[in-house]
Copies of this chain bind each other. A is one copy, B any other.
Amino acid sequence: MSKGRLEAFSDAVIAILITIMVLELRVPHGADAAALRPLLPVFLTYVLSFVFLGIYWNNHHHMFQAVDRINGRILWANLHLLFWLSLVPFVTGWMGENHFAPLPTAVYGVVLLLAGVAYTILQNAIIAHHGPRSRLAEAVGEDTKGKLSVALYAAAIPLAFFREWISDAIYVFVALMWLAPDPRIESKLDGP
């Protein structure tokens, strides 16, 4: 089985998710700065989720460059990842409209956590199909960054009920960790 359609389908789904989020930025009725102000938290969560979906697309792109062939398990592991990503616009809108309240902030973390776990499952399914000596297996290695991200999401969820800004800071930190220039990123292939 060739990987072309899986990539095209994933590209289309992520492209749609990254753009329908902007529909939560509802056009205000007024034409002055006061009309824009309530949109600020929605805009900030939009930026954060845009970056997260961008990171996923980026890592998906990198990972599949090392994929030679796919099977049914990889197809479903990929759909499973897309399922959790498809909830990002919903939790983004919920967190933004409620100005980073505790529960929406925690649920945002749950979706990021499950997307991260789904990415790891997909990565493992690909490695299982290509063998432990494949290019991908070597590039992933210990997958420190991926494991650290999942651990940070898991910590952010309960912390949202204590001080929600700590959770928000963790989300921003994980995003920056993946955005920061990484000398290995061109040669190694990591998960989020």
Contacts and interface: CB of A to CB of B under 8 A. Distances in A.
A104 B16 contact: no
Copy number in the complex reads 4
Contacts of A102: 31
Contacts of A31: 94, 98, 101-104
Interface string A163-192: 000000000000000010110011000000
B11 A86 contact: no
Interface stretch (A50-58, A117-125, A139-147, A149-157): A50-58
Nearest to A53: B79
Contacts of A17: 19
A114 interface: no
Interface string A1-38: 11001111101111111111011110111111100100
Contacts of A72: 58, 181-182, 185-186
A61 B5 CA distance: 7
Interface size class of A (residues with CB under 8 A): 35 or more
Given A8-B11, A12-B12, A19-B17, A54 B32 contact: no
Interface of A: 1-2, 5-9, 11-20, 22-25, 27-33, 36, 47, 50, 54, 57-58, 61-62, 64-65, 71-72, 75-76, 79, 82-83, 86-87, 89-90, 93-94, 97-98, 101-104, 107, 179, 181-182, 185-186
Given A7-B8, A8-B8, A32-B103, 5 more contacts: A9-B11, A9-B14, A9-B15, A50-B83, A58-B75
